[in-house]
């Protein structure tokens, strides 16, 4: 029986992400895979999934031990920017993933979500906010730590609402490709640090400062890595 800390990358795949932003992410994902997948201490304790969203949302990479796969799939631009679709699918996936891990005999701890968008939601305000509220509802024991990053046309206020744990907006000092490369570095480092506890210990390690981004107000401090 192992202690497992799930991580989800929820990434905007809308048309506005085409070009350097998606190219930067697709270039960075193999490095993330290599660093985590070749570290047995971290890969044994963490699982990683990619959910992408445009008009709809999809599970691009089901939750997996990164040492068990040879590569991660590439992102491809399409459609609009439905935050609601992403939040609804994420909630469903967390439920099914936690159930599957527990059925396999693992002890599962609170997931961490890294959300990335370069635009504003194309859903109605009520629709995406309702979906977000369901995802972060404290009465749902599995509600995750939410870390949100925005750049391009993303609204700092909206990113702050999504990033209940930490929220960052690009400050313009880096190009979009450079900012995305920094985001990927922070994501990788957070997973490695979270899974590198002594023995079977786990702790969610959240970014505090990120080069090229400024922190915007978020709702809460990181939630503890409680067993679900």
| CATH number, domain containing residue 57 | 3.40.50.410
pLDDT tens digits, one per residue of 27-65: 999 999 999 999 999 999 999 999 999 999 999 999 999
Q: Is 203 a member of any domain?
A: yes
As for how many domains the chain has, the answer is 1
Res 201 pLDDT > 70:
no
Nearest partner of 204 among 182, 217, 216, 220, judged by Cα: 220
**Domain range spanning residue 93?**
3-215
Q: Is 192 a member of any domain?
A: yes
Q: Is 204 a member of any domain?
A: yes
pLDDT tens digits, one per residue of 95-109: 999 999 999 999 999
pLDDT of residue 148: 96
Sign of torsion, CA 216 226 94 210? positive
pLDDT of residue 191: 94
pLDDT tens digits, one per residue of 141-196: 999 999 999 999 999 999 999 999 999 999 999 999 999 999 999 999 999 999 88
Q: Is 114 a member of any domain?
A: yes
Q: Is 190 a member of any domain?
A: yes
Q: Is 220 a member of any domain?
A: no
Q: Is 31 a member of any domain?
A: yes
Classify burial at 27, counting beta carbons within 10 Å of its beta carbon; exposed 0-12, middle 13-18, buried 19 or more: middle
Q: Is 228 a member of any domain?
A: no
Is residue 199 very low, low, confident or very high in pLDDT (cuts 50, 70, 90)? low
pLDDT tens digits, one per residue of 207-228: 888 999 999 987 666 776 678 8
Non-local CB neighbours of 193 within 8 Å, separated by 6+ positions: 205
User: What is the number of other CB atoms lying within 10 angstroms of the CB of residue 208?
Assistant: 9
Is residue 204 very low, low, confident or very high in pLDDT (cuts 50, 70, 90)? confident
Non-local CB neighbours of 96 within 8 Å, separated by 6+ positions: none
Bigger pLDDT: 72 or 206? 72
């Amino acid at each position: 029986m192992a202690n497992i800390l799930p991580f989800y990358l929820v990434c905007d795949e809308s048309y506005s992400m085409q070009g350097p932003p998606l190219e930067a992410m697709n270039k960075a994902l193999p490095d993330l895979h290599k660093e985590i997948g070749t570290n047995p201490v971290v890969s044994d304790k963490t699982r990683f999934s990619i959910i992408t969203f445009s008009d709809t949302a999809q599970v691009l990479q089901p939750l997996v031990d990164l040492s068990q796969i040879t590569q991660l799939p590439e992102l491809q631009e399409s459609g609009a920017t439905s935050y609601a679709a992403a939040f609804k699918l994420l909630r469903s996936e967390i439920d099914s993933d936690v159930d599957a891990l527990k059925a396999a005999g693992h002890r599962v701890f609170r997931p961490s979500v890294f959300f990335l968008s370069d635009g504003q939601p194309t859903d109605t305000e009520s629709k995406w906010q309702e979906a977000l509220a369901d995802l972060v509802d404290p009465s749902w024991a599995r509600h995750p730590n939410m870390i949100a990053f925005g750049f391009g046309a993303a609204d700092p206020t909206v990113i702050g609402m999504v990033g209940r744990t930490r929220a960052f907006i690009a400050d313009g000092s880096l190009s979009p490709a450079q900012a995305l490369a920094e985001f990927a570095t922070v994501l990788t480092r957070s997973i490695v640090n979270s899974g590198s506890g002594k023995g079977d210990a786990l702790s969610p390690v959240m970014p505090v400062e990120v080069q090229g981004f400024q922190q915007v107000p978020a709702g809460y401090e990181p939630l503890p890595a409680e067993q679900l």
